Structure 1
Amino acid sequence: MAKTPKRLKAAYEGINRDTFYALDEAVKAIKSRATAKFDETIELSMNLGIDPRHADQMVRGVVELPNGTGKTVRVAVFAKGEKAAEAQAAGADVVGAEDLMEIVQGGTIDFDRCIATPDMMGLVGRLGKVLGPRGLMPNPKLGTVTMNVAEAVRAAKGGQVQFRAEKAGIVHAGVGKASFSEDALVENIKAFVDAINRAKPTGAKGTYVKKVSLSSTMGPGVKLDLASLA
């Protein structure tokens, strides 16, 4: 049996794994125990009463966190002409068309979000086997296939989070950094939970949000009292 690292063991001191913590208490506990040598990400995990294998029970969408994610996001945009210039002016890290397609096909994917104008989707579609498994395929439902590339770039860099339920019905996301204030983290978490509630699929039956937990990259996790998330 693997031993629990001393640092993590110490971090769990004072935490009851069987207790459901109010959101503000949980944030305080997790933030104070994020003691790694880097700015740890605060992560939220939600166990939903859905079966994503059924199309009418899929949970997917985007949400803009009010205080951002604290993460530097590199954005690639497939566009030409005026739209390419707009993307560059908005701060896109990589902009191109056929040339960008060739770079991606060659195995270089130096970006975290991919945006495309509708006329570029015929080109981008050829990269489905490369971008799809990485969750980078542009999608109109997520606002990443759009003519308003400048707004999409700014949203991606400004704290927009994409979410998608995994096979077990679990949705997870980084909702900030340990360096954020407690109030900022609480606001971000409530915004994310609200987005998940609004994304409740028509096919979901019974209890929708079953369990929610909060943790940091290298620290312990705690269970949240669902009533405190309202």
Structure 2
Amino acid sequence: MAKLTKKQKLLADKVDSEKLYGFDEALAVLKEFASKKFDETVEVAMNLGVDPRHADQMVRGMVSLPSGTGKDMKVAVFARGDKADEALKAGADKVGAEDLMEDMQAGNLNYDRVIATPDMMGVVGRLGKVLGPKGLMPNPKLGTVTPNVAQAVKDAKGGQVEFRVEKQGIIHSGIGKISFTEAQLKDNFRALTEAVVKAKPAGAKGKYVQKIALTSSMGPGLKIDVTEVEGA
């Protein structure tokens, strides 16, 4: 966490690191801490009872946040002909084929989402070592390899986010900006947590959602009562 201002230090004294907060109460605390200099991102961390080293315990998926992310998503699309035109009309930031591949190989990877039509995977496949480590490799299971590129672009631009469990069994995801209303952030929180619960893998044993924390760019990390999440 960044260095606290005097106001934030005073507020920090009010924070109980062991308390289990309800979502509404935790969000109220974060809004008190909010910086006036920039619009902070509100983030959720979920500790899951899974071991991602085992294929049958991997948790990954997409979810559309009803209130959006508050972020301008930069989207690249691998497509040709009519599909390329459709992607551009839908708002894609960059569309191409071999030229886009070469551009990415040169290190131009400032994208939040990469989408491809199925026929382009021969080209995209050459970027495995480039896109894979950044989590940008198009995947049919996530809807980023699709003939309907226009809808995929609109989904990405409209607030769809990807979640993926890390090695430690934790999922991190932004759910909007601190300037969002309480209702907007709560709707996004519910959408994310419901999607993660729905994605519970068959190999998961014992309690699935073990811990949840809510924080913001400049705020404290607050423990959320897991009972706030249905099916946890």
TM-score category (smaller protein)? over 0.9
TM-score normalised according to structure 1 size = 0.96
Q: For 1:32-43, list aligned pairs within 5 A.
A: 32-43=32-43
Q: For 1:77-226, list aligned pairs within 5 A.
A: 77-226=77-226
User: Taking every aligned residue pair, what percent have the same amino acid on both sides?
Assistant: 60
1:34-89 deviation digits (Å, cap 9, x = unpaired):
22511000000000000000000000000000100101100000000000000000
- State the SS of the aligned residue for 1:130: helix
1:201-228 deviation digits (Å, cap 9, x = unpaired):
0000000000000000111110001112
Could you tell me which amino acid in structure 1 is paired with residue 209 of structure 2? V
Counterpart CA distance in 1 for 2:134 and 2:56 is: 23
- State the SS of the aligned residue for 1:172: strand
Q: How far is 1:25 from its partner?
A: 0.9
Question: Any unmatched runs of 5+ in structure 1?
Answer: none
Counterpart CA distance in 2 for 1:126 and 1:35 is: 43
- State the SS of the aligned residue for 1:17: coil
Could you tell me which amino acid in structure 2 is paired with residue 74 of structure 1? K
Corresponding residue number in structure 1 for 2:19: 19
Contact map agreement 2:33 2:218 (CA 8 A) in 1? no
1:89-137 deviation digits (Å, cap 9, x = unpaired):
0000000001101111111113211000000001000011111111110
Counterpart CA distance in 2 for 1:69 and 1:94 is: 21
Counterpart CA distance in 1 for 2:157 and 2:17 is: 35
1:121-164 deviation digits (Å, cap 9, x = unpaired):
01000011111111110000110000000000000010001010
Contact map agreement 1:21 1:224 (CA 8 A) in 2? yes
Counterpart CA distance in 1 for 2:120 and 2:173 is: 29
Counterpart CA distance in 2 for 1:9 and 1:136 is: 38
Q: Could you say if the C-alpha distance between residues 36 and 128 of structure 1 is closer, same or farther in structure 2, counting changes exceeding 3 Å?
A: farther
TM-score normalised according to structure 2 size = 0.95
- State the SS of the aligned residue for 1:187: helix
Q: How far is 1:31 from its partner?
A: 2.2
Contact map agreement 1:36 1:218 (CA 8 A) in 2? no
Could you tell me which amino acid in structure 2 is paired with residue 64 of structure 1? S
Could you tell me which amino acid in structure 1 is paired with residue 90 of structure 2? A
- State the SS of the aligned residue for 2:172: strand
When the two chains are superposed, the root-mean-square deviation of aligned CA atoms in Å is 1.5
Counterpart CA distance in 2 for 1:130 and 1:37 is: 35
Could you tell me which amino acid in structure 1 is paired with residue 134 of structure 2? R
Counterpart CA distance in 2 for 1:130 and 1:10 is: 45
Q: For 1:33-72, list aligned pairs within 5 A.
A: 33-72=33-72
Could you tell me which amino acid in structure 2 is paired with residue 75 of structure 1? V
Counterpart CA distance in 2 for 1:39 and 1:193 is: 23
Q: Could you say if the C-alpha distance between residues 6 and 33 of structure 1 is closer, same or farther in structure 2, counting changes exceeding 3 Å?
A: closer
- State the SS of the aligned residue for 1:189: helix
Counterpart CA distance in 1 for 2:4 and 2:178 is: 20
Counterpart CA distance in 1 for 2:19 and 2:162 is: 29
Q: How far is 1:32 from its partner?
A: 2.3
Contact map agreement 1:11 1:220 (CA 8 A) in 2? no
